């Protein structure tokens, strides 16, 4: 479990200094996207909601181990303290998943899983995961810290984004 709230201040600094390249989302232009290789090997895609130069929500994806023989992306999200409790995390997670799917399906990955591994004490992140990924987490132990966690998975596929899918993740289509 890597706490994405630790990445939020450094991402904010990079935005403020304009030291990173940001692109607008194609499906959700209110999101900004940044792709990088933080360890030199594994891609990370960051989606941010930025208002008047301030990052008000951050969502990051990195490739994880396959789940049920399908590609899987680990998700982490954070909202600065002054912006919490306003639905920003849920909204930004939902839109970031939509942007990710619309982006990578053209690369031959139309179906994949999103996974969130959340500390059992982090009730706010659990509520976001329950609303955006799954209402039925799996008990887990984090490999890095040895701490108890809850693991949430959601299958993302074409039906996720169109009216026949319930619940729809991309309500604007």
Q: Can you list the residues of the chain whose pLDDT is less than 50?
A: 163, 165-166, 171-173
User: What pLDDT sits at residue 105?
Assistant: 85
Q: Looking at residue 94, which CATH number applies to its domain?
A: 3.40.630.30
Whether 168 is in a domain gets the answer: no
Please, which residues have CB within 8 angstroms of residue 153's CB and are 6 or more apart in sequence?
Answer: 67, 72, 113, 114, 115, 133, 134, 138
User: What pLDDT sits at residue 165?
Assistant: 46
Cα–Cα distance between 135 and 33 in angstroms, integer?
A: 28
Whether 166 is in a domain gets the answer: no
User: What pLDDT sits at residue 10?
Assistant: 94
CB 48 within 8 A of CB 32: yes
Query: What is the domain extent for residue 139?
Result: 4-161
69-78 pLDDT, tens digit each: 999 999 999 9
Bridge partners of 64, per DSSP, are: 72
User: What pLDDT sits at residue 3?
Assistant: 77
Strands of the sheet containing 70-78, edge to edge, are: 23-24, 31-36, 44-51, 54-67, 70-78, 112-119, 148-156, 138-141
Whether 173 is in a domain gets the answer: no
User: What pLDDT sits at residue 79?
Assistant: 97
142-152 pLDDT, tens digit each: 988 899 999 99
- For residue 135, count other CB atoms closer than 10 A to its CB: 8
pTM: 0.89
DSSP 92-161: HHHHHHHHHHHHHGGGT---EEEEEEEETT-HHHHHHHHHHT-SS-EEEE-TTT--EEEEEEEEE-GGGG
Domains held by the chain: number: 1
User: What pLDDT sits at residue 33?
Assistant: 98
Percent of the chain topping pLDDT 90: 76
User: What pLDDT sits at residue 172?
Assistant: 45
Whether 146 is in a domain gets the answer: yes
Whether 117 is in a domain gets the answer: yes
User: What pLDDT sits at residue 28?
Assistant: 96
């Amino acid at each position: 479990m890597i706490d994405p709230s630790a990445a939020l201040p450094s991402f904010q600094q990079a935005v403020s200094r304009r030291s990173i390249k940001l692109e607008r989302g194609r499906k959700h232009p209110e999101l900004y996207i940044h792709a990088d290789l933080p360890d030199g090997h594994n891609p990370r895609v960051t989606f941010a909601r930025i208002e008047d130069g301030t990052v008000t929500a951050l969502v990051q994806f990195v490739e994880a181990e396959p789940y049920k023989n399908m590609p899987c992306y680990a998700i982490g999200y954070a909202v600065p303290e002054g912006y919490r409790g306003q639905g920003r995390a849920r909204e930004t997670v939902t839109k970031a998943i939509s942007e990710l799917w619309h982006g990578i399906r053209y690369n031959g990955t139309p179906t994949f899983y999103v996974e969130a591994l959340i500390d059992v004490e982090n009730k706010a992140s659990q509520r976001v995961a329950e609303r955006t990924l799954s209402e039925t987490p799996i008990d887990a132990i984090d490999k890095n810290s040895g701490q108890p966690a809850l693991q949430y998975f959601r299958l993302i596929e074409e039906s996720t984004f169109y009216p026949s899918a319930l619940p729809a993740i991309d309500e604007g289509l």
